Copies of this chain bind each other. A is one copy, B any other.
Amino acid sequence: MPQKPSIPKGTRDFGQQETAERNYIFDTIRSVFRTFGYAQIETPAMENLSTLLGKYGDEGDKLLYRILNSGDAFANIDESRPLASQVCEKGLRYDLTVPFARYVVQHQNELSFPFKRFQIQPVWRADRPQKGRYREFYQCDVDAIGSRSQLCELELIQIIDKVFEKLGVNVLIKINNRKVLTGLAEICGFPDKVVDITVAIDKLDKIGLDAVKEEMREKGLSDEAIAVLEPVLTLKGSNEVKLSVMRSIMGGSATGLKGLEELEELFGYISAAGIGTATEIDLSLARGLNYYTGAIFEVKALDWQIGSICGGGRYDNLTGIFGLPDMSGVGVSFGADRIYDVLKGLDKFPGDLRSSTRILFANMGPKELGYILPLASALRAEGISVEIYPDAAKLKKQFDFADRKTIPFLSITGENEMEQGSVNIKDLRSGEQKSFAKDDIKGMADWIR
């Protein structure tokens, strides 16, 4: 009995249309990365589990796909120890960040630092599949490692600006700095409450100032501490105003002042470079708080309701775990699937992605084929995508084929045209028909293109 074919839950087939649309996103992102001198690298889908385990927390470890050792994986196992760790040595890449750190350490002697790389590859997570969450999906990561300059942060903001300008999506770039958050916790006397304070700030819009204060009290902050933070909780206005308010209260924290200095330097660069996209200091940005040590970024689409479509930040010790300390880097990751949803929702994909084939030559039989084949080759040499219907089927069937594939031009070349040395081409959208001399390849190409 034949198998009913299916694919694993949480994975997807991409047909012609989706692949073309996804490639449009990847190509756009790639072309922007390149104008900033970032180098594309690729790492294997399979990494040693020793590289992956312990890098994503206990929850992450559970979400790793493990690959059964080849050969007889179950020979010589010790039943008293956990089996999974004995029969699997490799796993599928969970993100592009850990493989990047591994790559930098492994190839450190071949690389020129600061090393600017990008990577567009799939990752796998054994997550519960749900709307918009997949078990195999692409990440588009861009990182600069080996420099602490805020120019690297600027470049990422410029990249985000250009990518979404090219894609035609209005976005807001939110910027935070981990050192500022540390500073706030320090000046109010609760240096271990960074997360609680950030979470509380995040709720301000939803629950209001009084409820946020109450929550801070519940988390153990004193009234004095809350009074110190109050100017920050109610922070409004331009980035300059926000920076100046924070500076007025940050005196007691060297780390906080360093964070403000970084933000000021970055906003200075942003104004010097001239960025079209709005940038906004947002102290509630807590993304990857255990991980980032400086700037934190998040990008929101303004005209479509969806979570963050790009995000990242600066990390000071990504490569330490693999034996290369003191390598500061900064990077962002573009979420291809969400960006896809935004472009689809806003109808922002270019129309000409729909069919790659520009013209179909109907197949009228062997004699006509001898006339058509060199023509088709000549048009392809002009870069035109050409199909010849493979069988001399009924014209109705060939028409339907062109229609279903939305091929815009059709040529039916029969004995008459062969006698006259001409080619008839019809624009199936407008109905317009033109006749060309069969040597007028340029003329045909210009019309069809």
A322 within 8 A of B: yes
User: Is A106 a contact partner of B13 (Cβ separation < 8 A)?
Assistant: yes
A13-42 interface (Cβ within 8 A of B) = 13-16, 19-20, 22-23, 34-42
Complexed CA–CA distance, A361 and B232 (Å): 39
Contact of A66 among B12, B20, B67, B388 (CB under 8 A): B67
Assess the B105–A50 pair: CB atoms within 8 A: no
Contacts of A154 in B (CB 8 A): 373
Partner of A147, one of B42, B136, B391: B391
Q: How many Å lie between the Cα of A440 and that of B236 in the bound state?
A: 41
Which residues A198-246 have CB closer than 8 A to chain B? none
Expressed in whole angstroms, the Cα–Cα distance for A293 and B107 within the complex equals 48
Count this chain's copies in the assembly. Answer: 2
Q: Min CB distance, A89 to chain B, in Å?
A: 8
B356 near A386: Cβ-Cβ < 8 Å: no
Interface of A, secondary structure class, is: mixed
Report yes or no: A149 in contact with B15, Cβ–Cβ below 8 A.
no
A51 lies within 8 A of B401 (CB)? no
Q: How far is the CA of A332 from the CA of B40 in the complex (A)?
A: 28
> Chain A interface: which size bin?
35 or more
Is the pair B14, A320 in contact by a Cβ cutoff of 8 Å? Answer: no
Looking at the complex, which one of B83, B105, B148, B370 makes contact with A272 (CB distance below 8 Å)?
A: B370
Residue A420 interfacial (CB < 8 Å): no
Interface status of A194 (Cβ within 8 A of chain B): no
Contacts of A6 in B (CB 8 A): 48, 51, 106
Asked if A187 is at the interface (CB within 8 A of a chain B CB), the reply is no
List A residues 305-324 near B (Cβ within 8 Å).
320-324
Is A380 an interface position by the 8 A CB rule?
yes
**Minimum distance in angstroms from A41 CB to a CB of chain B:** 6
Known A-B contacts A7-B47, A321-B3, A322-B3; the reply to A13 vs B35 at CB < 8 A is no
Interface flags, A321-345, vs B, CB<8A=1, else 0: 1111000000000000000000000
A269 touching B369, Cβ below 8 Å: yes
Query: Which chain A residues in 55-74 approach chain B with CB under 8 Å?
Result: 62-63, 65-68, 70-71, 73-74
Residue of B nearest to A2 (CB): B323
Q: Please indicate the chain B residues that have their CB under 8 angstroms from the CB of A107 in the complex.
A: 13, 15
B50 and A373 form a contact (CB under 8 A) = no
